[in-house]
């Protein structure tokens, strides 16, 4: 019986090890993948490590993560240790109260703490950035240090410090030479927890940062919205750094024991690493801030850009900085609504890249300033299809960035083109493809599909028509067993995991470039012709430099780098023709060139009442999908 228990215990332990470490091993293996897929290994390559090292954003995120973690760890460890010793000398009622106060931040949901910090900084008008992230990390790390140090302090003889002072030690000597050595294990444990919490944090960091300051968690979050295997490379690098740190920590006690056997002091082993960590972090800050450029037109100026994650070419920002001498601070959002909240609350950006309907809303609410047409030299470079659209008919407020359509990506080996031509969006009700389809988790696009399938305008405000569209979607999720996804569809369809799905044309371009069996179809009943544009908020601090950036993005160099990297259709005519023409990156891929000439294709218009109705109905659709599964 004992042998069976031991065997069961070993098997359980092995399964736990596999459960915890298999994902890490998977990530490390795919960091050496030659292809862009996150799930299909195509061959060994170091290209993503090279890409990581050449990416300024990644290196800055790495710097931010570890410099904040080191500084927060040292400061919170010192503060937490002093606080724990001080509380131990207080009256019992004070100790009990402080215990509860210390436990509250650790028991609080992290999102509540994050919002609290954000509101605090907004109330006192503290500009969010590196300093606010560091302050927040110090604040939430201190309770964990105190939690580790307090038990060690309580286990000490309360007369120990008094005995030391009776023997001639000063209070500081009693603290540093008597108390601290006795509680060193607790201090080290608290420091390790603080460091881990800081490196790992996402939610609090996300709410308290600004000015383009991102740690690795925030950067990976924005990168994961589109396929980028550099995530694996930089995550592997972090694993290596943490592994080296853990080895050092585990070997340090052995070294300390040997030193003590030889009668040597080990105090420096604690002081030197702490001082070294601070010097290293501060050195990184000065090295980063000390970089200068030669005199250029906008030398020393800063441009604040707010754009979608993974929506900018690799070389666009460095090239613009080299040309102008300005520094570009780019922050990312993952929805128009998230972007709107920041703009409406007065956060200052110089260039923002919202979608068509959101541009219309921002214009209506007077949150944008008119463009200075004399400073824009880009109009003749742009295709007429994205100029003069209903949301900004005179292009007084916006310059096109990317544009495209929403259609059906399908596996040509599984889906009959005749079914698509006959059914259009109704193919999502065809039982032949039950359990083999993706729906896109977007209320606007899903209702667009349903309304077009029913022959209605996607901009309808008729509640009866919206109810019909709701019923169409409910019937789909209850009978077709679809998987509702967002950007996972990109890699999944590139690997041919399902027969078809609703997708943006730019994502379909990538899918088709990765898998020759994939096709893209636009139903004759019409679809959404969307466009994202560059705008200048009303409270922009540097509109002149913003106009320079808009010109740069619209010119050939910036537009080509953007479109070739991201895969979405450029508004620049020359770039669009070159990338889709003979020898171009997207030759023969019909998803890259948006359809024109179909009178049933539409551009989204902003209607707040309709938006609220659709949002409520889409929530019910997802509930129906959950119940069906």
Contacts of 612 (CB under 8 A, 6+ apart): none
CA 474 to the chain's CA centroid: 31
Is the model more confident about 244 or about 431? 431
User: Could you identify the residue written with the tokens 């991201």?
Assistant: 566
- Give the whole-angstrom CA distance, residue 39 versus residue 494: 10
69 near 525, Cβ under 8 Å?
Answer: no
Q: Are strands 351-352 and 483-485 parallel, antiparallel or unpaired?
A: unpaired
Rounded to an integer, the average pLDDT of 438-462 is 96
Q: Residue 286: its pLDDT value, please?
A: 47
Rounded to an integer, the average pLDDT of 213-232 is 77
Q: Give the side-chain half-sphere CA count within 13 A for 182.
A: 17
Is the model more confident about 526 or about 261? 526
Is the model more confident about 502 or about 170? 502
Q: pLDDT-derived band of residue 367, with 50, 70 and 90 as boundaries?
A: very high
Contacts of 201 (CB under 8 A, 6+ apart): 137, 140, 215, 217
Q: Residue 552: its pLDDT value, please?
A: 97
Q: Residue 53: its pLDDT value, please?
A: 85
Q: pLDDT-derived band of residue 243, with 50, 70 and 90 as boundaries?
A: confident
| The three-state (H, E, C) secondary structure of 230-256, written as one string | HHHHHHHHHHHHHHHHHHHHHHHHHHH
Q: Which two tokens stand for residue 26?
A: 């998977």
End-to-end CA distance of the chain: 42
Judged against a pLDDT cut of 50, whether residue 293 lies above it is answered with: no
Q: Residue 267: its pLDDT value, please?
A: 52
Mapped onto helix, strand or coil, the DSSP state of residue 94 is: helix
- Give the whole-angstrom CA distance, residue 563 versus residue 568: 6
Mapped onto helix, strand or coil, the DSSP state of residue 438 is: strand
Mean pLDDT for the chain overall: 88
- Give the whole-angstrom CA distance, residue 509 versus residue 490: 10
Digit-coded pLDDT (tens) for 21-75: 888 888 888 889 887 776 678 888 888 888 888 887 888 899 999 999 999 999 9
Q: pLDDT-derived band of residue 227, with 50, 70 and 90 as boundaries?
A: low
Specify the domain boundaries for CATH 1.10.3720.10 within the chain: 54-288
Rounded to an integer, the average pLDDT of 253-279 is 59
- Give the whole-angstrom CA distance, residue 622 versus residue 440: 11
Residues across the chain: 629
Q: Residue 283: its pLDDT value, please?
A: 52
* Cβ count near 248 (within 10 Å): 11
Question: Which run of H or E residues covers position 596?
Answer: none
User: Could you identify the residue written with the tokens 């001082």?
Assistant: 275
Least reliable range by pLDDT among 242-256, 270-284, 518-532: 270-284
Mapped onto helix, strand or coil, the DSSP state of residue 568 is: coil
Rounded to an integer, the average pLDDT of 548-560 is 97
% the chain with pLDDT above 70: 92
Judged against a pLDDT cut of 80, whether residue 627 lies above it is answered with: yes
Judged against a pLDDT cut of 80, whether residue 294 lies above it is answered with: no
* Sign of the torsion angle spanned by Cα atoms 98, 195, 228, 569: positive
Q: Are strands 327-333 and 302-308 parallel, antiparallel or unpaired?
A: parallel
Specify the domain boundaries for CATH 3.40.190.10 within the chain: 302-400+532-580, 403-529+587-628
Rounded to an integer, the average pLDDT of 285-290 is 47
Q: Which two tokens stand for residue 378?
A: 């880009």
Q: Residue 175: its pLDDT value, please?
A: 81
List, in sequence order, every residue forming a beta bridge with 409; answer none if it has no partner.
Answer: 501, 520
Judged against a pLDDT cut of 60, whether residue 325 lies above it is answered with: yes
In terms of phi and psi (left: phi > 0; alpha: psi -120 to 50; beta: otherwise), the region of 168 is: left
Q: Residue 20: its pLDDT value, please?
A: 83
Burial (CB count <10 Å: 0-12, 13-18, 19+), residue 595 = middle
Q: pLDDT-derived band of residue 291, with 50, 70 and 90 as boundaries?
A: very low
Q: Which two tokens stand for residue 139?
A: 């604040």
Taking alpha carbons only, the member of 198, 542, 531, 146 closest to residue 354 is 531
CATH number attached to the domain at 302-400+532-580: 3.40.190.10
Q: Which two tokens stand for residue 291?
A: 């970089």
Q: Residue 265: its pLDDT value, please?
A: 53
Core vs surface per residue 299-337: b (16+ CB within 10 A) or e? eebebbbbbbbbbbbbbbbeebbeebbbbbbbbbbbebe
Q: Are strands 437-440 and 483-485 parallel, antiparallel or unpaired?
A: parallel
Digit-coded pLDDT (tens) for 383-438: 999 999 999 999 999 999 999 999 999 999 999 999 999 999 999 999 999 999 99
* 3-class SS shares of the chain: helix, strand, coil, % to 5: 60, 10, 30
Judged against a pLDDT cut of 50, whether residue 331 lies above it is answered with: yes
Taking alpha carbons only, the member of 67, 14, 95 closest to residue 199 is 67
Rounded to an integer, the average pLDDT of 165-193 is 88
Taking alpha carbons only, the member of 296, 414, 309 closest to residue 57 is 309
* Cβ count near 370 (within 10 Å): 11
% the chain with pLDDT above 90: 58
Pick the CATH number of 54-288 from 1.10.15.40, 3.40.640.10, 3.40.50.10860, 1.10.3720.10: 1.10.3720.10
Taking alpha carbons only, the member of 409, 422, 423 closest to residue 490 is 409
* Cβ count near 485 (within 10 Å): 18
Q: Residue 105: its pLDDT value, please?
A: 83
* Superfamily holding 403-529+587-628: Periplasmic binding protein-like II (3.40.190.10)
Burial (CB count <10 Å: 0-12, 13-18, 19+), residue 574 = middle
Please give the backbone phi and psi of residue 198, each rounded to the nearest 5 degrees, phi first: -70, -45
Q: pLDDT-derived band of residue 178, with 50, 70 and 90 as boundaries?
A: confident
Digit-coded pLDDT (tens) for 479-490: 999 999 988 899
Digit-coded pLDDT (tens) for 80-128: 999 998 888 788 888 788 888 888 888 888 999 999 998 899 888 898 8
- Give the whole-angstrom CA distance, residue 402 versus residue 399: 10
Judged against a pLDDT cut of 80, whether residue 523 lies above it is answered with: yes
348 near 372, Cβ under 8 Å?
Answer: no
User: Could you identify the residue written with the tokens 């359990």?
Assistant: 435
Q: Residue 226: its pLDDT value, please?
A: 59
- Give the whole-angstrom CA distance, residue 73 versus residue 82: 14
């Amino acid at each position: 019986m004992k042998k069976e228990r031991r065997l069961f215990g070993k098997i359980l332990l092995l399964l736990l090890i596999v459960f915890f470490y298999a994902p890490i091993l998977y990530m490390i293996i795919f960091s050496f993948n030659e292809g862009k897929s996150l799930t299909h290994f195509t061959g060994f390559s170091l290209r993503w490590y090279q890409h990581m090292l050449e990416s300024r954003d990644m290196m800055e995120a790495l710097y931010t993560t570890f410099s904040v973690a080191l500084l927060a760890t040292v400061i919170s460890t010192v503060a937490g240790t002093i606080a724990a010793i001080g509380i131990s000398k207080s009256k019992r009622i004070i100790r009990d109260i402080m215990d509860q106060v210390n436990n509250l931040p650790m028991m609080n949901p992290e999102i509540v703490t994050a919002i609290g910090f954000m509101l605090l900084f907004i109330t006192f008008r503290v500009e969010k950035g590196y300093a606010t992230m560091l302050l927040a990390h110090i604040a939430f790390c201190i309770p964990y240090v105190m939690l580790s140090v307090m038990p060690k302090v309580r286990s000490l003889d309360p007369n120990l410090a008094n005995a030391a002072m009776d023997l001639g030690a000063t209070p500081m000597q009693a603290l540093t030479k008597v108390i601290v050595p006795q509680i060193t294990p607790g201090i080290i444990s608290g420091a390790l927890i603080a460091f881990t919490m800081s490196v790992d944090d996402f939610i609090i960091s996300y709410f308290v940062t600004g000015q383009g300051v991102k740690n690795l968690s925030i950067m990976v979050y924005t990168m994961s919205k589109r396929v980028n295997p550099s995530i694996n490379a930089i995550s592997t690098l972090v694993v290596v750094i943490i592994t080296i740190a853990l080895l050092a920590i585990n070997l340090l006690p052995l070294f300390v024991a040997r030193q003590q056997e030889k009668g040597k002091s080990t105090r420096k082993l604690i002081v030197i690493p702490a001082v070294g960590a601070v010097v290293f972090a501060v050195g990184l800050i000065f090295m980063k801030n000390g970089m200068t450029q030669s005199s250029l037109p906008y030398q020393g100026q800063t441009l604040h850009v707010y754009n979608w994650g993974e929506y900018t070419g690799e070389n666009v920002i460095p090239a613009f900085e080299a040309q102008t001498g300005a520094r570009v601070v780019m922050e990312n959002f993952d929805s128009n609504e998230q972007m709107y909240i920041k703009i409406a609350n007065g956060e200052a950006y110089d260039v923002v890249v919202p979608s068509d309907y959101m541009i219309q809303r921002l214009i209506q609410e007077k949150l944008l300033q008119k463009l200075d047409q004399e400073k824009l030299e880009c109009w003749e470079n742009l295709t007429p299809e994205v100029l003069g659209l209903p949301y900004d008919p005179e292009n007084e407020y916006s310059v096109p960035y990317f544009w495209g359509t929403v259609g059906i990506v399908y596996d040509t080996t599984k889906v009959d083109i005749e079914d698509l031509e006959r059914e259009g969006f109704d193919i999502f009700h065809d039982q032949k493809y039950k359990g083999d389809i993706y729906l896109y988790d977007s209320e606007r696009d899903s209702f667009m599909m349903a309304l077009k399938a029913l022959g209605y305008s996607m901009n309808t405000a008729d509640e009866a028509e919206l109810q019909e569209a709701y019923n169409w979607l409910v019937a789909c999720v209850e009978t077709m067993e679809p998987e509702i996804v967002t950007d996972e569809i990109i890699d999944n369809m590139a690997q041919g995991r399902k027969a078809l799905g609703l997708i943006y044309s730019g994502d379909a371009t990538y899918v088709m470039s990765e898998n020759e069996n994939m096709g893209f179809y636009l139903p004759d009943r019409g679809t959404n012709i969307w466009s994202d544009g560059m705008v200048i908020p009303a409270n922009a601090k540097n509109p002149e430099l913003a106009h320079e950036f808009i010109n740069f993005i619209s010119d050939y160099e910036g537009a080509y780098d953007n479109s070739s990297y991201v895969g979405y259709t450029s508004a620049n005519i020359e770039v669009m023709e070159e990338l889709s023409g003979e020898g171009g990156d997207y030759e023969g891929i019909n998803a890259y060139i948006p359809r024109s000439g179909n009178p049933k294709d539409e551009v989204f218009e902003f209607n707040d009442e309709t938006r609220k109705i659709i949002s409520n109905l889409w929530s019910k659709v997802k509930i129906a999908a959950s119940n069906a599964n």
